[in-house]
Amino acid sequence: MEPGNDSQRLEFLLLGLAKDTEMQPLIFGLFLSMYLVTVLGNLLIILAVISDSHLHTPMYFFLSNLSFVDICFTSTTVPKMLVNIQTQSKAITYAGCITQIHFFVLFFGLDDFLLSVMAYDRYVAICHPLHYMVIMNHRLCGLLVLLSWVVSVLHALLQSLMLVQLSFCSDLEIPHFFCELNQLIQRACSDTFLNEVVIYIASFLLGGGPIAGILYSYCKIVSSIRAISSAQGKYKAFSTCASHLSVVSLFYCTSLGVYLSSAVTQNSHSTATASVMYTVVTPMLNPFIYSLRNKDIKLALRRLCEKE
């Protein structure tokens, strides 16, 4: 089946997380609740940063961008899943599937890059505190975010263009709750060697690069904190990056855990269930991590509520 001739009539079937129809209402309620909490929590972070002049700093500028990306990231997959459960349909069109993969790759990459940029921000703040505002000026902050968007958009566009070159035959069932890139490639009946090569190279460069940057930044941060003489000074320095370190650990441990386990096991259903952690749970927990561990955010949220 050539995609150029019949792609408009193609429909994939998203098998979801549970085959038992009795579980569908429970899954619908659970995912709807998590989605609403994710959107509301991240939206509150964005509003708090915008409304409070005390938070108009590089760290909170990056945080508000991360919150926006988390809303978009979750919105790429969960709404379609909820609609399918509600309509008792598993179908997603060929165009819809490619579009979902495009935006999933885009916002996943942005999460990756923004966490790396935030690690660099913490490195400058702790290792070069006297030059922090000079180094992390408005121009550099804007350029770092813009560069993250440009690279992520180009990468997502490349993966999408590679996908539309593939043809699909009879196996159109995807054992997942969204169109996942590797799952779709596995169901192609044309040669996928080039797609797999591009995925591996992109994963190494765009995944390994940010991780290496984060590890380097925190190695320097730990060295600087160890050089501080007072225990109170060490605690104050560490507390400024504790929230970011928690989010980084949660994001990378869950996403890497899913892809490493999928390489070891052939149980697609288990992989789909595990992927809920980094696609839904992590974006939902990020606002709680930053608000509970950050006095400035809690104060800004309190002021925002008082204005209402």
For the chain (308 residues), the mean pLDDT of every run of 10, in chain order, is 53 82 88 96 93 91 96 96 91 94 96 96 93 95 97 97 89 87 89 93 91 94 88 81 88 79 62 83 90 81 76
**Residue labelled with tokens 């940029």:** 117
- pLDDT recorded at residue 269: 66
- pLDDT recorded at residue 1: 40
CA-CA distance, 43 to 64, in Å (whole number)? Answer: 9
The two tokens of residue 43 are: 């939206």
CA-CA distance, 88 to 82, in Å (whole number)? Answer: 10
Q: What is the pTM of this model?
A: 0.92
Burial of 73 (0-12, 13-18, 19+ CB in 10 A): buried
Laid out side by side, the sheet with 91-93 consists of 91-93, 11-14, 173-174
- pLDDT recorded at residue 69: 97
- Which residues does 100 contact at the CB level (< 8 Å), separation at least 6? 76, 77, 80, 92, 178, 179
- pLDDT recorded at residue 3: 46
Domain ranges of the chain: 3-307
Whether 12 and 91 have beta carbons less than 8 Å apart is answered as: yes
Burial of 209 (0-12, 13-18, 19+ CB in 10 A): middle
**Residue 188: half-sphere exposure toward Cβ, Cα within 13 Å:** 24
* CATH homologous superfamily, domain 3-307: Rhodopsin 7-helix transmembrane proteins (1.20.1070.10)
- pLDDT recorded at residue 277: 86
The full DSSP string for 155-204 is HHHHHHHHHTT--B-S--EESSSS--HHHHHHTBSS--HHHHHHHHHHII
Instruction: Report which of 280, 274, 276 is spatially closest to residue 257, judged by C-alpha positions.
Output: 274
